[in-house]
Amino acid sequence: MLFLDREEELELVRRSIRGRGRVLIKGLRGVGKTALLREVARRENGVYIDCSLILRPKHLAAIFGKKWEDPYETLKGVFEHAEREGKPLLLDEFTDLLGRFGRLNPYRGVGGAFAVASHLRGLAEEYEVPLVVTTSNLKTLHELLEKYSRPLARFFNLIVNLSPLDLETAARLAKILAERMGVDIDEEAAFLIAEVSGGVPGYIKPLVSVLPSKAGPEEVVEALEREFREGFFATLFDALLRELGSSEVEVLFLLSRGVDTFSELKKRCMGINLVQTLKNLKVRGLIDKVRLGRKTRYRITDTTFSAWLASKEFPGLGAQSIEEVKETVLSFEALVRELFARINYWVVVTDCETRELRIPPVLSVDGCSTIPRELSCLVETAEGLMLLETHFGGECPPEKVDRLERSAVVVKKVIGKPIYAAILISYFGFRNDTLERVRDSPLDIYLMSKRELRRLCRAVGYRVI
C-alpha cells in the first residue's frame, strides 16, 4: 500500500504514541486512513488490526495465536498482549468491531456498541497502551463521541481529520499506479485524474485501472463517464444512496445542482423535516456548512460524489454532461472557488512577489454567469469585488492577463461596483513574459501559485490544494 505525503499527520500520530496518547483518525472511505495507519505500524512496530475482517472474537484471537471465544475476555487479552510487548495498538475501522461485538453477550442488552466502547475506554486507561483508531463511519462516531455523556467523549488526546491529497501528490500517485499497471499516462492526464478524483486515493486506483494501455486526457474523461454510468463510481455511490432516507437523497441531488441555502432547499423540499435531514447528512460527513455573508450555504464534502449526483437524472432535475460536471465541480477552478467561499474573516497573505494582500470576508462567490464567461470567478466582499483568473496546466501565459483586463472593464460597466483586487492564480507558476505583462498592466494584479494557495488553504482551514 502506497504512502504519499502524509508526513505531517504521521509525525503528529507518532509523537502522541510516544506520550502514550490515544489518537482518532477520521475521514471518508478511501481518503488514505489505512495507508497512514499501516505506516504508523511499520515505523512504531505497532499491533495493526483490520477490524473490518473481525467478524467474531475467534478471528481477533487468531491474530495472537489464542483461542479466545468470549468477546469481553478477547478485548482484555488484546490489551494485555500489547502492554506485555510494549507495542501501540492500532485498530483500523474500529467502529466495525464495536458494532459486531455489541451484538454478542455480555454486551448485548446492556448498551451494545456503547457498552463495547465503554469497555474499550476502561481497558485503554487501565493498561496505558498507546492506541490509534480509524473510522469511516462518521455517524456511529458521532453517536459515541459528540455528547458529554457518550462513552468516548473526551477520550482521544488527538483527533486527525484526514483530507484528500493535494493535486500534485494525487497526480504523482496516479503516475505510480499507472506504471505498476502497465498504463502509459502523460502529465496532463495524471493531473486530470487528480482533479476528477478529488484527491481521494481510493478513487484514483479504480480510475487508473480501467484506462487503456496508453491514455491521455480524452481517455481519462471517457473512463470517468463510463465509471459514472456503470462502473466503480456508479456501484459505490448507488450503494451509498441506498443507505440514506428519501429526504436525504433529495437534498443531496438539489445540493449537487447548486440549490444550497436553507431557504432555497425549503422551497424545493416541501413536506420534509429539512432541519433533521441536514443534521443527518452533516453527522454522516456527507455535507458541511459554509458561512457566506449573512447566508449559510451547504456543500457536499466529496466532490466526486457531488459530480456523480449532478450527472444523474432526478425528478425535476436534468442530468448534466460529463464536461459540465468536470468544469463546475471537479476542476482546479472549482477548487479555487470553494477555497474563497471559506473566507469569512479578514485573511492576510502574500503573493508570489511578496506583496501583502488583505482579503476581506467573502459575501458571495459567482461562477461568472453574469459577466464574460472567460473570467474564472467573481468574488464579492464588503470592500468591493475581487476578480479571479485561474490557470492549470503549465506556467501561466500572458493571455490570462488580457482576460483579467477585459473582464475588469466589463465588470465596471455592467455591475458598477469597485474592484477591490484582481488575482491571477496559476498552480504551476508564471512565464517570464507573463510577469512582464503583469508589471506593465494598468490593472493592479496579485499573483498566486500553489505555494501561496496552500498557505491560504491552511489559513482558512480548507483542504490543501
Report the pLDDT value the prediction gives residue 95, as an integer from 0 to 100. Answer: 96
pTM of the predicted protein model: 0.92
Structural domains in the chain, CATH included, are: 7-161 (3.40.50.300), 167-230 (1.10.8.60), 236-328 (1.10.10.10), 340-460 (3.40.1350)
Buried b (16+ CB within 10 A) or exposed e, 163-184: bbbbbbbbbbbbbebbeeeebe
Report the pLDDT value the prediction gives residue 170, as an integer from 0 to 100. Answer: 96
Q: What is the DSSP string of 1-27?
A: ----S-HHHHHHHHHHHHTT-EEEEE-
Q: Strand pairing partners for 364?
A: 380
Q: Which three cell numbers stand for residue 26?
A: 477520521
Report the pLDDT value the prediction gives residue 245, as an integer from 0 to 100. Answer: 96
Q: Which three cell numbers stand for residue 176?
A: 505510480
Say which residues have a Cβ less than 8 Å from residue 442's Cβ, sequence separation at least 6. Answer: 405
- The C-alpha atoms of residue 453 and residue 434 are separated, in whole angstroms, by 19
Report the pLDDT value the prediction gives residue 322, as an integer from 0 to 100. Answer: 95
Report the pLDDT value the prediction gives residue 371, as an integer from 0 to 100. Answer: 54
Report the pLDDT value the prediction gives residue 71, as an integer from 0 to 100. Answer: 96
Report the pLDDT value the prediction gives residue 366, as an integer from 0 to 100. Answer: 81
- Which residues does the chain have with pLDDT short of 50? none
From the list 81, 64, 6, the residue with the least C-alpha distance to 38 is 6
